[in-house]
Amino acid sequence: MHPLNLQRLFEVRGTSVLITGAASGIGRACAEAMAVNGARVTLADIDRGALDLVVGELATAGCDVTGETVDATDPASLKRAVDAAVTRYGRLDVVFANVGISGGPGFLKGDGSRNEAAAFEAVPLELWERVLDVNVLSVVKTLQAVVPQMKRQGGGAIVVTSSISASKTEMYVGASYVASKGAVGQLVRQAALELARYEIRVNAIAPGPVVTNIGGGRLKAPEARVPFERACPMHRVAVPEDIAGAALFLASPASRFITGAAIVIDGGVSVGPAD
């Protein structure tokens, strides 16, 4: 087969993949994209019930999938999942560090009025600590859990779910979330720099707003989507399937010389407002 054949460029068949936060939203869509294309996927999530449902659906569709209950803020729990994946499949080719939570709404409401509950001085430090722990330190802990195995086997691909909030400010998104994703953006670049020597690629996917269960699933309400749709040149928010193509690309040989990059998937939001 020609090396630039589509099948060969994007081949993930047989690769061992671990995805954190895989029971819902973006992680679930990435797991599905990998699994239906023949990858052997370990889905890790803190929500055992949701995880069982997703793993059951994919297994029924003929995919090679396993579920691991994991708290991505707990190194011991991450290590158990990594060990289980390596024992099962002999290696770990691709890891998606995808877990993240909302920091609540931003300082403006959708109608443009001030949201006093989300004012800088009103947001409890406990929320900041929780958001930084889950969104930033879980990525650090996931990398610490998987890098030794990737070094041993001679390489791998790590994909981190960042956000367009890593590089732009937000009116309708909480400050702790924006700060956490800013840190994630630099974490990806720094890890990519250090790990390139070991053939470990580290890249980010940076979505704009996506309808998922994050923040209590607030974007499922049409009225909550209005300010985000208005700010988007393509006039809609994303669905998780909009993200899966970039995930597949970053996991596949097609991206073999790409590291330290962030793929923005936002319908043009970061480019600027349009008609």
CB contact set of 220 (below 8 Å; sequence gap of 6+): 211
Instruction: Give the nearest distance from C-beta 9 to ligand NAD in angstroms.
Output: 26
Candidates 58, 134, 157, 269: give the one binding ligand NAD (CB under 6 A).
134
Beta bridge partners of 262: 204
Please, are residues 195 and 147 in contact by the beta-carbon 8 Å criterion?
yes
Instruction: Give the nearest distance from C-beta 243 to ligand NAD in angstroms.
Output: 8
Instruction: Give the nearest distance from C-beta 123 to ligand NAD in angstroms.
Output: 17
Candidates 25, 67, 106, 182: give the one binding ligand NAD (CB under 6 A).
25
163-182 mask for ligand NAD (x: CB under 6 A)? Answer: x-------------------
Closest to ligand NAD by CB, 11 or 47: 47
Taking CA atoms, 122 is separated from 119, 182, 199, in Å, by 5, 21, 45
**Backbone phi and psi for residue 222, each to the nearest 5 degrees, phi listed first:** -55, -40
What is the DSSP code string of 214-234? HHHHGGGSHHHHHHHHHT-TT
Q: Is 79 a catalytic residue?
A: no
If one asks whether residue 27 binds ligand NAD (CB under 6 A), the answer comes out as yes
Residue type, 172: Y
Closest to ligand NAD by CB, 101 or 244: 101
If one asks whether residue 42 binds ligand NAD (CB under 6 A), the answer comes out as no
Q: Is 177 a catalytic residue?
A: yes
Give the residue from 3, 39, 1 showing the smallest Cα distance to 253: 3
**The two three-digit tokens of residue 241, written as one number:** 């399937």
Show contacts with ligand NAD in window 135-164 (CB under 6 A). 138, 161, 163
202-221 mask for ligand NAD (x: CB under 6 A)? Answer: -----x-xx-xxx-------
Q: Where do runs of H (alpha helix) occur along the chain? A: 6-9, 25-36, 48-60, 75-89, 125-132, 138-153, 175-195, 214-217, 222-230, 241-251
Closest to ligand NAD by CB, 70 or 143: 70
If one asks whether residue 46 binds ligand NAD (CB under 6 A), the answer comes out as yes
Residues that bind ligand NAD (CB under 6 A): 20-21, 23-27, 45-47, 50, 70-73, 98-101, 134, 138, 161, 163, 207, 209-210, 212-214
